[in-house]
Amino acid sequence: MDDDLRISGVGSRAEAALRLTAAPVFAERHAAAPAGNDIVQDNVVTSSRAGTVPAAVPSAAAASAGAQPAPTVWVLKCHRAGDHAQSLALANELGWPYVVKDMEFHWYELFFALADKVSLAGFDRRRSSPLTPPWPDLVIMAGRRNEIPARWIRAQSAGRTKVVVIGRYWTPPKDLDLVVTTPQFRLPTHHGNVLLNDFPLHLASKQRLTEAGKLWAPRVAGLPGPYVTLLVGGSTGPYVFSRRTARRLGREASAFARALGASLLVTTSARTGRGAMQALRAAIDVPCHFYQWRPRDPDNPYLGFLGLADAVIATADSMSMIAEACMTDRPVYLFEFGNGPAAMHGPRARDPQNRQWWRPSQLLDQGVAGLPYAWWIGRPARRLNRSRDIRLVLDRYIASGRAQWLSDELLADPARVRKNAATTHAKPLEDVELAAQAVRRLLGLAA
């Protein structure tokens, strides 16, 4: 189904042939996967089964160091787009040329991980980028499956290669060089090589958003401004983005936009179910541009919509999506959903009925599939307990003033909506800079 440019209410639609070769999209689940194994970033990053292509642009670090060469960096590609984007964000922030290695695995690789066997026995060499000398100075990676190959690379270099893990680690921290993590994973932080950031790393710089916004501005010129960008994630862990929830989001986002006299710029994600997507679209009754996520779509407007935003509403299931929204320097509002013991800590959670998962209305909406996950969230984080409690990060977004809940109380007063949107702004995030400083110290370079 094509993008929808809606000039009036639900029944009035015009098909928009809005095609744009936009900048790469880096939000969790929104990223359009590159073709083949070729990945291009600011420092010219490529890797393929045929080998690697060196960076064509000298890094800032190398320039400032004179004749001293910049450290060599490999980024091991994670199968989860959001986690891989965090690795790329750190590599970009360091400013050194780097190579992205495509990583594929056999189904039985978990057995070698459980045995803590540092080898490439579970690594699919045929479908992956080559892991051959010269070995890099630094490996940046995310995802459990990449840890064993990263440690294998370090072993081949006789310990010279440093391994940096983003997010949650599987290997004991003492066997890693640096871990950059966030509160949602509930990992022990008493190890000297674990950096606990407040928020995830991301690639949505202010410059990228501004440039993408300029590209997309002519394509939404038929919609009256200002613009409220609506970022839609989907089901994750104990949180189900159901049709009922999607309809509520459509109503609340429409009410918010109507109070501002604004149009909605809506972008969905790979986790947005088809039924929920249709329910959301049908519930929106203000002018909008509705983008339905498509894989490998070069015209994904995600960054452009953020660059054009006068305010942002984001579903509260994606920590990276919220981090990118904060880079707009616009007010950011979080849409709360889910119920029961793992309910988010927003205003809906204070309603006893929304915490009583056994009520028929709640069971019909959220089901019972998320209850085991909610139980695991309440247990201590262990190697086999891979649950994450995103509420711990959401609480920090709220407490730091970078975001606020989209509440019924706010929507009930249009004048308050207008005043709130005019006087609040998201604060910039500094987590990627902190991570880069830690890496430079690890390599013995000035931070």
Percent of the chain at pLDDT exceeding 70: 79
Q: Taking 80 as the threshold, does the pLDDT of residue 345 lie above it?
A: yes
pLDDT for residue 423: 85
Instruction: Decide which of 424 and 28 is more confident.
Output: 424
Q: Which of 47-56, 128-137, 249-258, 430-439 has the lowest mean pLDDT?
A: 47-56
pLDDT band at 383 (very low <50, low <70, confident <90, very high): low
pLDDT for residue 27: 33
pLDDT for residue 102: 97
pLDDT for residue 385: 66
Q: Taking 70 as the threshold, does the pLDDT of residue 41 lie above it?
A: no
pLDDT for residue 363: 63
Q: Do domains 4-24+204-412 and 46-201+432-442 have the same CATH topology?
A: yes
Q: Taking 70 as the threshold, does the pLDDT of residue 441 lie above it?
A: yes
pLDDT for residue 343: 82
pLDDT for residue 142: 96
Question: Tokens representing 342?
Answer: 């793992």
Give the start-to-end residue ranges of the domains of the chain: 4-24+204-412, 46-201+432-442
Q: Which of 25-34, 149-158, 417-426 has the lowest mean pLDDT?
A: 25-34
pLDDT for residue 63: 43
Determine how β-strand 332-335 pairs with β-strand 311-315: parallel
Region label for 202, one of left (φ > 0), alpha (ψ between -120 and 50) or beta (otherwise): beta
pLDDT for residue 61: 42
Q: Taking 70 as the threshold, does the pLDDT of residue 297 lie above it?
A: yes
Q: Taking 50 as the threshold, does the pLDDT of residue 64 lie above it?
A: no
Query: Mean pLDDT over residues 388-412, rounded?
Result: 92
pLDDT band at 319 (very low <50, low <70, confident <90, very high): very high
Residue with tokens 């809005």: 18
Q: Taking 90 as the threshold, does the pLDDT of residue 42 lie above it?
A: no
Q: Taking 90 as the threshold, does the pLDDT of residue 218 lie above it?
A: yes
Question: Tokens representing 388?
Answer: 């994450």
Q: Taking 80 as the threshold, does the pLDDT of residue 19 lie above it?
A: no
pLDDT for residue 14: 29
Query: Mean pLDDT over residues 328-355, rounded?
Result: 84
Q: Taking 50 as the threshold, does the pLDDT of residue 48 lie above it?
A: no
pLDDT for residue 66: 53
pLDDT band at 38 (very low <50, low <70, confident <90, very high): very low
pLDDT for residue 429: 85
Domain 4-24+204-412 has what CATH class?
A: alpha beta
pLDDT for residue 361: 63
b/e burial code for range 122-154 (CB count within 10 A of at least 16 → b): bbeeeebbebeeebbbbbbbbbbbbbbbbbbbb
Average pLDDT of the chain to the nearest whole number: 82
pLDDT band at 121 (very low <50, low <70, confident <90, very high): very high
Q: Taking 60 as the threshold, does the pLDDT of residue 419 lie above it?
A: yes
In this structure, whether the domain defined by 46-201+432-442 belongs to CATH 3.30.720 is answered with: no
What is the C-alpha separation between 400 and 334, in angstroms, rounded? 14
pLDDT digits (tens, 9 = 90+) for 355-375: 666 666 666 666 666 677 676
Percent of the chain at pLDDT exceeding 90: 57
Q: Which residues, 6 or more positions from 4, have their beta carbon under 8 angstroms from its beta carbon?
A: 13, 15, 16, 281, 288, 289, 290, 292
pLDDT digits (tens, 9 = 90+) for 66-114: 557 899 999 999 998 889 999 999 999 999 999 999 999 999 999 988 8
Q: Is 350 exposed, middle or buried (0-12, 13-18, 19+ CB in 10 A)?
A: exposed
